[in-house]
Chains A and B, each alone.
Chain A
C-alpha cells in the first residue's frame, strides 16, 4: 500500500502543492462559498495549507486511512479504498447522503454546494496519475521535499529513522501510524497535529469498528426477533385455544 509522508518541519507553506493540485484537477479559482469552513479545503481545493497554533504551516488533505470511515459508511460503495492505497470516489454511484462527510474523523470530504448535481470532493491521491506511473502532483511539485511518496511500510521506516537521527527536530510520533487504525498519509512533525482532527483525537481503533460493533449483531437480532415473534404467536394462540375449549366444555378433554 502506497502513501505520502509529510515532513511538516520542511514545509514552508509556499502553497505550490495546493496550486498544482488545483491545476492538475482543473478546479479553477477558489470560489469562497458561504458553505466553506475556512480551513481552505473546499469542493475545488482538495488540499490546503493550514497554520498550527504555533504558526507552523501544515498541509491538510485526505489521510487515505487504512480502514476509512467514509468507505465503511457509504451505503452505495461510492467510496472505495483501492488495493494500491488511495481512497477514491465514484460519482456514478453516489446518491448524496453525505454520511461520509459526517463520519470522517478529520472532516475532509467537501460538497459541491453550489451545484444542482452536487458531488463529494476529496483528494484521490492522484490515483489517475499513479495508473500512468506518475507521482502525485503535489509530491512532484513540492520544492522543499516535504512530501515523500512511497510504500507505506518504507515511509514508516524512513519516518522512524529520521526521528532517531534528529530527535530534537521531531516529536517522537508518526501521526497516521496508528490513529483510527492508521492511514496511508503519515506526518512527521515538530508540533502537535491535534488541530487537524475534526474535534478530538480519534483514538487508535479503526472507525468502521464503531459501526460494526452494532452491525455484526444485526443478523442474530433479526433471526432472534423472527423466532421469538413466531414462537410467541403460536404459543399464546395455542394456549388461548385451549383455554377457550376448556371454558366451552368444562371438565371435558381439550379440543
Chain B
C-alpha cells in the first residue's frame, strides 16, 4: 500500500492524460467528424454521457455544503473540503469535455451575449459557469492556506472568502438545484429519441435527487481510495452515517422512477425481454435496490467492504441511468449506428485522469484530507547528487519524478501513435489508387498498386489445367466474368479500377449516347427518370451474369485487391485441401515478395 500504489496510480493517470492530450490535439486538428464516431443520426455521444456522469458524481459539493453550513451538521465538516474538491474537479472535467464536444468551442462565450430564456442548455450554461466560479471561491481558502500565499493581498482575499462562505454556499445550492435538474430537462424535448423506460416528465427531479445520492456515494468511494493511496484520511464512522442517508435518497430516487413508470403504465415494458428492459432491470435491481438494502443493514454498513461495494453499486446505477438516457438507448442500428471512436474514448477517460492528477496534487499539498497541511513526502525516484569536492553523494535531484513521468509520457505517445490508423494521423481520405493492368500473357505479372511487389501468375498453366478439367469454354469463365458486351478476355482492372476503393461501373452517358440521346429515356426508365425506375441490366444484357444481391444490380465493382483475392483464394484454398498441399492456400503461394528485375521475369514467359 501507500507509496507504491500511489506511484503506480500516478503513472497510469499520467500516461492516460498525456495520450489524451495528444488525442485532443488531433481532435481539433482533424475536426469532430474525423476524430469521433458521431454522425447525423447520433449527434451526441460518449462525451455527453460522461459529462452527465461527472456532474452527478460532483453532487457531494452542494450536498455537504448544505449539511454543514445550512443544517449546522458540524459532524460532517471533516469531509466537507474533499466534497468541494470532488465537485470542483467534476465540474472542471465537465467544462473541458464540453470544449472537446462543441463544434466551435471558441464560441463558448456566446450564451453570455445572446440570452435565450427558452433554452434549457442556455440555463445550464449560465448555472455551470456561475457554480464553477462559486466552487473556486469555496475551495479558494484551502489553496490560500498554502505557504506561498502568506502575503497581505492573498490574506485579504482569504478573509473575504471566509466571510462570504454562507452566501456562497446558498448561491451554490440554488445553482446546483437548478442545473442538476435541468441536465435531465435537456432530454424532455426528445421524446422521439429517449426510450420510454427512461423518458419521463420527472427526469429533472430524478436527476436532482440522484445527484445528491451519487455525490454522497462518490464521497464514500473517494474515502476508501484516499485511504488506499495515502494510508490515512478514512473517516469510516462519518461515511457510514453518510451511507445511511444516501440509502434514503436512493430509495426516493427509485420510488420516483418506479412510481413514474407505474403512473405512465409502461411498467410491463421493463420485463418484455428487450435489451433495454434488461438494462433497466440491471440498473434498478443491481444499481438501486441492492445497494439500498446493503446500506440499510447496519452490519453490512459497518464493514468497509460492505460499505464500499454498496457505494460503488449505487453510484454505478445512477451513472448508468444517465448513460442509458443519453447514449445507450439512443442507439439506432437502423440508420447510422454510433460507435465511439478510439480517440473519443481516450479523450473521455483522459479528462477524469487529468482531474485525478489534480486531485492528488491538491491532497498531497493542501489541507484537504486533514485539517492541517500534509507533510510533503520525499520523492521516491530522486537520484543522489554527486558532490565533486567532498567525493560523496549528497542531497537529491529535484527532477526524479519529472524524469520518470516524462519517460512514461513519451511511451504513452509512442503507443498512441502506433495504434492510430494512418488516416487518423494524416487526416486525409484515402486517395484513389488507379490499378495498373497486369503485364505479360502466359506468365502474368500482377502488380495492381505498382509497388514492385508483384504476383507472378502462370496464366497459361491455369488455362491449360482448367481446359483439361472443364473444357475450353468454361475454363475462361471460371475466373473471368465475360459479362461485358463482346467480352472475350476483359482484364480485372477494367471494372475493378481502383486498388482499394469500389469503382462505379455503370456509364449512364455512354448508354444515353448509344441509345440515341434524350428521346431514349423510355427505353430503360418506366415513367420518371430516376434510378429506381430503371430496368435491370440483364433485361438488355442477357449475356451478363447478373450479380447476386437483393437490389438485382449494383453500380459498384469492389476494389481490385479484394476482387483478386476472392477470385484466387476460394479456389486455392479448395485445392490446398483436395490435394493435401497446405502451402497452396497460403499467402506465400502467390506473394513472392520484391521482384528484383521484373523484365527478367517477363522474359521467362511460359514457365509454369
Contact = CB atoms under 8 A, between A and B. Distances in A.
Interface of A: 12-15, 33-38, 41-42, 49, 51, 55, 57, 69, 72-78, 93-99, 101-103, 105, 107, 110-119, 197-200, 202, 207-208, 210-215, 218, 221-222, 225-226, 229-230, 232-233, 236-237, 240
A101 B335 CA distance: 15
Given A12-B528, A75-B122, A114 B38 contact: no
Nearest to B107: A95
Interface residues of B, number: 68
Given A76-B116, A215-B120, A93 B31 contact: no
A11 B573 CA distance: 53
Interface stretch (B68-76, B141-149, B442-450): B68-76
A175 to B, nearest CB: 16
A214 B66 contact: no
Contacts of B460: none
B173 A117 contact: no
Interface stretch (B11-19, B78-86, B185-193, B482-490): B185-193
Interface stretch (B39-47, B280-288, B562-570): B39-47
Interface in B248-270: none
B559 interface: no
B118 A211 contact: yes
Which 5 residue pairs are nearest across A and B when measured between Cβ atoms? A96-B103, A113-B33, A95-B107, A35-B39, A75-B122
B38 A75 contact: no
Given A73-B189, A113-B38, A115-B31, A225 B530 contact: no
A14 B38 contact: no
A62 B178 CA distance: 33
Contact of A76 (B39, B114, B178): B114
Contacts of B120: 73, 211, 214-215
Nearest to A232: B70
B174 A37 contact: no
Nearest to B125: A75
A168 B111 CA distance: 51
10 contacts: A13-B530, A72-B189, A96-B107, A101-B43, A102-B190, A118-B103, A119-B103, A119-B104, A208-B118, A211-B188
A141 to B, nearest CB: 15
Interface in B169-211: 169-171, 173-174, 177-178, 181-182, 185-186, 188-193, 201, 204
A111 B31 CA distance: 12
Contacts of A34: 39, 336
A96 B104 contact: yes
Given A210-B191, A237-B72, A95 B105 contact: yes
Contact of B173 (A12, A49, A229): A229
B548 to A, nearest CB: 22
B177 A221 contact: yes
B40 A210 contact: no
